[in-house]
Structure 1
Amino acid sequence: MPQRDGALSPEFWTRPAMAAALATCDMAAIVEAVRSARGWSQAGLARNLGYSQSWVSRVVNGQQSLTLDQVREIARRLDIPVHRLRFAGGFPAREPHAPARPAAVPATGGGKGDPTRRREFGKVLAVASLPLPMAPVSSDVDENTAPTLRAITGGQRRLDASSPARDLISSAVAHLELSGRTLGRARRTPFAADIAAAASEAAGFAAWLHADMGDVGSARSHYRAAVERARQAGHELLGVYMLGSLAAFEIDADEPELGLALAGEAARRLGDDAHPTARAWLACVRATGHAAIGDGPAAHRELGSADRAVAHTANREPPWPWVFPFDETKLAGYRALVAVRLRRPGDALAAFGEAARVPAGAKQRAVLLVDLADAHADAGDVDEACRLASEALRIGAAFQSDRVISRVRRFRRRYRGPRARCVSTLDEQINSVLAGPLRL
């Protein structure tokens, strides 16, 4: 009988198949066995793990590589006895409180995976489990290490404006792992805090790329890692930035209540005396959350708070990790987004006119086009709405951006107007993108 509540019996973990999976750290087999023993559907398993169902499906089928942090998180959430996991040659898994250094881990697929891959997996984990030397200063870590790591992330962010996320993700994850290993070597050195901050930035960028590819579970995991690294850095403002970014991500992923809760916690940590750029941005994040649940008065109160922060005399040079000041034009972009979500096309179109003064990267421009298409559709201008959505779809397909393509699909689902010729054409284009390379 499935056991939904309470801890699984000790006997469950000593069954031959489970013992073999634990001995090789076959996470695909372990997770699937726990799901079956609990009587969960795959959707229920995903809810208990805090990841998307598609991500969990790839794990169970041995198609999703895991980081060490993810292995530890899955073990904690499913009450897997960590001491029973074996990592090559009998090395035990690092205990949950030990330093975390992400490494790519293949899910081996229910015990049927390639034994060579499994041995390589074990070697990776065994090396990662070895204790770090605790010398006062590592010879390869100095005052230039953190700026170098941050410069790499900055370069990758600039490439993101003109490159598909799938072209960047391997290098971004590799850089994230490098940052984690470097932080491990830097512990108890004067440079550890700055390197932790650099690792937080790397994790935040990895989260952004995964979100663009539609991998919601990995995006959440990396955003959480970014918040934790910021905490290790002792940089409160960086932590607020990463927590606010996670809040914005959740709101965009149709989880506005969760996003508002996270944004509220970020605001509590920020305080009332923070830099105006930070206060304006976070108020706008909260405004979009309120608009997503249809609370217009609350959304406009937050926009009013952002307006006051933007007009503050101290709102000049933005604080790190912000790069650009938060000005009236950026605020106009959020006003437009709030108006779209509140279904107020006249306000949205007026605000978009002001927001469009700032050049944007291709993918960000595509997101703006979809929001603008929503506003035109609400105003009854179907031809212009479809034209804008089609242009956004073209950009999304060219950059293989699931984020942009999903927004166009959401726009089409929301449209309830007349079945005009342009609507049929947009349907054909969406089907073309989903079926294969776009031919427009």
Structure 2
Amino acid sequence: MREDERAHQLTPNDPRLPPRIPEQLWEHPEVRAALGRRSPGGNRDIGGLLSLINRRTGTSQSKIGAAVGLEQGYISKVMSGQRVIVSIDVLERIADGLGMPDAARILLGLAPRHSAWQGSIDVTATTATLEPARRPAESPRVGALLLPDLVPATPRNAQEDADVRRREFIGAAIAAIGLIQQDAGYFANRQSRRPVGDGEVDAVREMVSTFSHMDQRYGGGHARNLVVQYLVSNVADYLRGTFAEDAARRGMFSAAGELSYLAGWMAFDNAEHSIAQQYYNLAVGLATEAGDAPLEGHVLRAMAHQAIDLGSYRRGLDLAAASVEGRRYQLARPRERALIGVVHAHALAVTGQKPAAARALTKAEGELSDATDNDDSERSRVSFFGEASLAHETARTLKDGGDILGAIREFNRSVDTRKAAAFARTHAVTLGYLGSAYADAGNIDEACATWSRALDAMDGINSGRTRQVVTDMRSALSGYRHRGTVVAQELDGRARAYLGNDLVATP
């Protein structure tokens, strides 16, 4: 065998090969127990499951990560209990990547692969860079609702074709909302009774702004049900109605897209990731129907943010790249370009492209410097994004690129420039990230002081991201706590009180 052939020969544990997991392992009592185990908060014990597979088959973390599409470092955190996987999309990828049989999938709480119902709706079909959203199998009743037969038997002219396509999309969009709510029958006899005009569009936009301020102050877990109720009642009625003019139609679909995006963002913030993905998909479809390319980019940016947080770095980069593509970026106002640009920079950093990430950061800073506070064409969805938000995202990008001191500098700038009362949730998260950066730099005293401030700021906030910050803090402090360090023990007591039923055991 030639030297070059030997260099490319795959070893049995090469991460490029799929893992070989014996069929009988899925029937082992320990594995079945791990598949069915749930935390007090209802989370699956994926870390325990992967640890068992690693121990009993010798499958490395790298190989598991390659099989399921996650980075080795993220798999390590999951196995050590530092990360909890709740996204249905990620759980499905784990089940598929490990070749999980149907009996094991059911124990894990997933639909069997060989379900009788295989239908789905992809409201992001116009976005070629995205994979279709993967959903659990639905019942035939819901499946029929998702694929309405609206095609008439007689030939149609071009205008009739456009009208039918619009009705098909509206039917599918409303069905998607109903599927998320598990109450699609709600819409059966509801219809707006008068033409929808600019007044209704303005009312929806004002409600979106109100709900957004509530999210920023109190967290996504505080009032998402109110947002969803407004979406599935008033706004769904408007979408089914007639419009005074096409501008009102486009405006209403855009406003509905912003509301659906907000419902998704709030679900993401509250760690309800599979629900967030469904609302995001719906928001992209509504934005496309409205012809609102910047809103498409805004939602894709949020999807990229979520993917990165869940460890799907390559998918995060694909989504972020799509958000800054063509008209999505070109037609956006400077503040929105800065927002989607800095998330693109973060996606580049986590995929190891440091020079490109640095260029993207510089570009985002330039865009924000061009933004003005009195820009009437700017949407309220980006009103939160200023120097503090840019510094927060810049710090995350620097930290994931290995520049801890730069991250500390930018996190501090974010804390110093943010209006903490109005943006309490993000302020608390930033303080938590800053504490972790201090800990990574070896400054545990400053880390503890900062984490204490973070816990102070979390009072009254209902957010999965703040809970994750506290969980990460407890993990970082575990060694000091066991050595009897008083400050660490006091912080841990406050952390346990904050987490309550979501408490996850740490070493």
Does the TM-score normalized on the shorter chain lie above 0.5? yes
Q: CA deviation at 1:76?
A: 8.7
User: What are the superposed Cα offsets for residues 140-166 of structure 1, whole Å, 9 maximum, x if unpaired?
Assistant: 522211111111111112222333544
Amino acid at match of 1:198: A
Amino acid at match of 1:183: L
Amino acid at match of 2:491: L
Q: 1:389 to 1:58 in 2, by over 3 A?
A: farther
Residue 490 (structure 2) pairs with residue 425 (structure 1):
yes
User: What are the superposed Cα offsets for residues 201-232 of structure 1, whole Å, 9 maximum, x if unpaired?
Assistant: 11011112212221010011111111111111
Distance 1:186 1:169 in 2: 28
Q: Which moved more, 1:186-195 or 1:209-218?
A: 186-195
Amino acid at match of 1:374: S
Q: CA deviation at 1:371?
A: 1.5
Distance 2:312 2:270 in 1: 18
Q: 1:319 to 1:400 in 2, by over 3 A?
A: closer
User: What are the superposed Cα offsets for residues 97-153 of structure 1, whole Å, 9 maximum, x if unpaired?
Assistant: 45221236776xxxxxxxxxxxxx5xx52x6357979xxxx5252221111111111
Match of 2:311 in 1: 254
Q: 1:371 to 1:306 in 2, by over 3 A?
A: same
For structure 1, list consecutive stretches of 5 or more residues without a partner in the other structure. 1-42, 63-69, 108-120
User: How many residues end up aligned between the 2 structures?
Assistant: 363
Distance 1:352 1:321 in 2: 24
Q: CA deviation at 1:374?
A: 1.8
State percent identity of aligned pairs.
23
* Residues 176, 202 of structure 1: 8 Å contact kept: yes
Match of 2:444 in 1: 382
Residue 372 (structure 2) pairs with residue 372 (structure 1):
no
Amino acid at match of 1:157: S
Match of 1:359 in 2: 419
Amino acid at match of 2:203: T
Amino acid at match of 1:142: G
> What secondary structure sits across from 1:319 in the alignment?
coil
Amino acid at match of 2:498: V
Q: 1:314 to 1:395 in 2, by over 3 A?
A: closer
Match of 1:14 in 2: none
Match of 1:170 in 2: 225
Distance 2:90 2:313 in 1: 20
For structure 2, list consecutive stretches of 5 or more residues without a partner in the other structure. 1-84, 96-104, 112-118, 123-131, 151-167
> What secondary structure sits across from 1:139 in the alignment?
coil
Distance 2:424 2:107 in 1: 30
Distance 2:502 2:135 in 1: 39
Q: CA deviation at 1:238?
A: 1.4
User: What are the superposed Cα offsets for residues 297-353 of structure 1, whole Å, 9 maximum, x if unpaired?
Assistant: 332121122233334588973632554396555433332222233343321232234
Distance 1:302 1:105 in 2: 36
Amino acid at match of 2:259: A
User: What are the superposed Cα offsets for residues 43-83 of structure 1, whole Å, 9 maximum, x if unpaired?
Assistant: 9x944996999xx9899699xxxxxxx98679996787958
Amino acid at match of 1:431: R
Residue 320 (structure 2) pairs with residue 287 (structure 1):
no
Q: 1:217 to 1:51 in 2, by over 3 A?
A: farther
* Residues 82, 93 of structure 1: 8 Å contact kept: no
Of 377, 381, 395 in structure 2, the residue corresponding to residue 336 of structure 1 is 395
Match of 2:360 in 1: 302
Match of 1:160 in 2: 215
> What secondary structure sits across from 2:217 in the alignment?
coil
* Residues 49, 78 of structure 1: 8 Å contact kept: no
1:234-245 pair list within 5 angstroms: 234-245=291-302
Of 256, 273, 277 in structure 2, the residue corresponding to residue 220 of structure 1 is 277
Amino acid at match of 1:285: V
Of 148, 165, 181 in structure 2, the residue corresponding to residue 94 of structure 1 is 148
Q: Which moved more, 1:330-339 or 1:414-423?
A: 414-423
Match of 1:324 in 2: 383
TM-score (norm 1): 0.69
Of 178, 183, 191 in structure 2, the residue corresponding to residue 103 of structure 1 is 178
Amino acid at match of 2:418: V
Amino acid at match of 2:495: I
Distance 1:49 1:95 in 2: 32
* Residues 292, 341 of structure 1: 8 Å contact kept: yes
Amino acid at match of 2:393: Y
Q: CA RMSD in A?
A: 4.2
Match of 1:15 in 2: none
